[in-house]
């Protein structure tokens, strides 16, 4: 069984990673850090701008660098962008260096949650089509986590309580 001194939260966009991460860090008395927020802080611009100006490939490289830095910390809850699992290296880093929680949600729940969100670079245009397409492409990339929770019908407090009850 893993010693838990860091928790990473993965999952598709709009599954509740950031909100649940904040609640867990409060419960544990740990620091919460977010990979996207770290990239924005070091780049001095939004993730959307990084995607637009540098492209997804460069963003994914930045993401791996930030992940490596964050996985060196102790007593931390790391919340990640939904695409961090696209790279095998990131999945390996997460699996080997943290207790990984995957938050999932139904296609319907995700679409309802992102329908009016203009900040997500991969959803520009036809949001419904783009969500379905991305979910299809990422199928199976979250299920390897130590704990998988479907957030479709749960509020963030219920999810955090569920996680706390199942931590080793």
Cβ–Cβ < 8 Å for 9, 17 = yes
What was the pLDDT predicted at 122? 63
What was the pLDDT predicted at 115? 80
CATH class of 6-157: alpha beta
Segments making up each domain of the chain, as ranges:
6-157
Report the mean per-residue pLDDT for the chain: 93
Q: Averaged over 66-83, what is the pLDDT?
A: 97
CA dihedral of 74, 20, 64, 133, whole degrees rounded to 10: 160
Cβ-count burial 35-72 (b if 16+ within 10 Å, e if not): bbebbbeeeeeebeebbeeeeeeebbebbeebbeebbe
What was the pLDDT predicted at 45? 96
pTM: predicted TM-score of the whole model, two decimal places: 0.93
What was the pLDDT predicted at 114? 86
Q: How far apart are CA 92 and CA 8, in angstroms?
A: 12
Q: How far apart are CA 114 and CA 73, in angstroms?
A: 31
Q: Pick from 72, 95, 73: which is nearest to 84 by CA?
A: 95
Q: Pick from 8, 2, 11: which is nearest to 150 by CA?
A: 11
Q: Lay out the sheet containing 76-79: strands in order across.
A: 31-34, 76-79, 6-11, 99-104, 147-150
- Is residue 1 over pLDDT 60? no
What was the pLDDT predicted at 126? 82
Cβ-count burial 149-164 (b if 16+ within 10 Å, e if not): bebeebebeebbeebe
Q: Which two tokens stand for residue 118?
A: 């203009």
From 1-5, 40-44, 55-59, the region with the lowest mean pLDDT: 1-5
Q: How far apart are CA 13 and CA 36, in angstroms?
A: 12
- Is residue 71 over pLDDT 70? yes
Tens digits of residue pLDDT in 113-133:
988 776 666 667 788 888 899
Angle, alpha carbons 148-124-43 (nearest 5°): 80
């Amino acid at each position: 069984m893993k010693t838990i001194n860091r928790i990473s939260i993965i999952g598709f966009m709009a599954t509740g990673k950031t909100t649940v991460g904040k609640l867990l860090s409060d419960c544990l008395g740990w620091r919460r850090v977010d990979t996207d927020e770290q990239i924005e802080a070091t780049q001095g611009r939004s993730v959307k701008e990084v995607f637009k100006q540098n492209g997804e490939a460069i963003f994914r490289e930045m993401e791996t660098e930030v992940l490596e830095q964050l996985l060196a910390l102790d007593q931390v809850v790391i919340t990640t962008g939904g695409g961090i699992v696209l790279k095998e290296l990131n999945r390996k880093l997460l699996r080997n260096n943290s207790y990984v929680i995957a938050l999932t949600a139904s296609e319907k729940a995700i679409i309802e949650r992102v329908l009016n969100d203009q900040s997500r670079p991969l959803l520009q245009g036809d949001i419904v089509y783009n969500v379905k397409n991305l979910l299809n492409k990422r199928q199976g990339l979250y299920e390897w986590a130590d704990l998988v929770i479907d957030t479709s019908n749960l509020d963030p407090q219920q999810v955090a309580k569920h996680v706390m009850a199942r931590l080793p």
